[in-house]
Amino acid sequence: MHIDKQYLTKRVDDFATSRILVVGDIMLDQFIWGKVSRISPEAPVPVVEVDHETRMLGGAANVVSNIVASGGTVLLCGVVGDDRTGKEIIAKLEELGVRGNGIVVENDRPTTIKTRIIAHAQQVVRYDREKTSTLKLETIRHIVKFIEEEMGDLSAIIVSDYGKGVVSPELMDGIRTVISGRNVPVTVDPNVRNFPLYKGVTIITPNHSEAGQIANIEIGDERLLVEIGKKLLSDQNCKALLITRGADGMTLFEEDGSITHIKSVAKRVYDVTGAGDTVIAILTLGITAGLDLRASAYLSNLAAGLVVGEVGTSTVKIDDLRNLIASHFS
């Protein structure tokens, strides 16, 4: 696939003109870092000697982090609890220059926090504190109203669905009503359980495993991948489907029948945490900056290749993108 280097760099510079609204599951990613030197005498499990801890924006909030780092303007809709973690997330967003007025606080709902214990650059265990029931109808209405009020100069909407309760039939119906008659792309980082809700959006980005679960079949080869990708695209009636495939790159299916395989550029894969957030952020920024779907997917693949080489949630800065383009075309 030929893409002009200067053209791609110019479009990356145009990310600054994009104003994107992210709606979805807001969470905090906590990483506890340490080392293992012995097994517990109480049970056959490793004892992690903790060295330090990091707490970072996760889920939909990490999509926001990626957009800010890449030069775009972003708004965020979602839910946090009335707790210390929720306040911490809002404070971290404000540090990025992102206002919290699209975030609803539900008193009886804890803020989602994923805790990962890392030793010797490997994840030992993860535990989650969360409540995944559907949001209160009043909360959904508040979010839809916020989206409607901000529609005037939006470039796109990203739905970041981690299956924690924010994305529902009512929310997606509300988004469809708000964007009706407007040329505003809607991109979705999906959850398997909610896949039927995304009908008619612009593009959906399941990973290889998710695509297999949705089709209820294990994707064992490229022939089956193509068959399933075409079926999912047809069933969802969207413009495109991008299946991310880890070390095998990505495959883009478009409504005109074209299929594009994009090879991975990752030099090493240490951790896929947050890679989907980076893909949906850069893909959407590309589309809003005037790139076609193939070029946008290609750019998101470059970005993903960088973040999987880091342990823990990470983002790709706009200078990183420029350097990636320059090195890949050199």
pLDDT of residue 262: 92
**Whole-number pLDDT of residue 321:** 85
Domains and CATH numbers, the chain: 5-37+47-328 (3.40.1190.20)
Query: In the chain, how long is the greatest CA-to-CA distance?
Result: 65
User: Which one-letter amino acid corresponds to residue 323?
Assistant: N
Residue 311 has pLDDT above 60, yes or no: no
The pTM assigned to this predicted structure is: 0.93
Q: What is the predicted pLDDT for the residue at 151?
A: 93
pLDDT reading at 285 higher than 50: yes
Judge whether 25 counts as a catalytic residue: no
**What token pair was written down for 325?**
């383009």
**Predicted local distance difference test score (pLDDT) of residue 271:** 47
Q: How many residues does the chain have?
A: 330
Cβ-in-10-Å burial (0-12, 13-18, 19+) of 113 comes to: buried
Percent of the chain with pLDDT strictly greater than 90: 76
pLDDT tens for each residue of 207-223: 999 999 998 888 888 89
For the chain, counts of helices (H) and of strands (E): 10, 13
- Rama region for 39: left / alpha / beta (φ>0; ψ in -120 to 50; rest): beta
* Distance of alpha carbon 104 from alpha carbon 81, whole angstroms: 8
Residue-wise pLDDT tens digits, 109-131:
999 999 999 998 888 999 999 99
Contact in structure between 114 and 126 (CB atoms under 8 Å): yes
- pLDDT top residue among 324 and 25: 25
26-72 pLDDT tens trace: 999 999 999 999 999 999 999 999 999 999 999 999 999 999 999 99
Beta strands (DSSP E) in the chain are: 19-24, 26-39, 46-59, 73-81, 103-106, 112-119, 122-129, 156-160, 186-189, 203-204, 240-244, 250-254, 259-262
CA dist 228 and 210 (Å) reads: 11
The pLDDT of residue 269 is above 90: no
Instruction: State the catalytic residue, choosing from 277, 292, 319, 320.
Output: 277
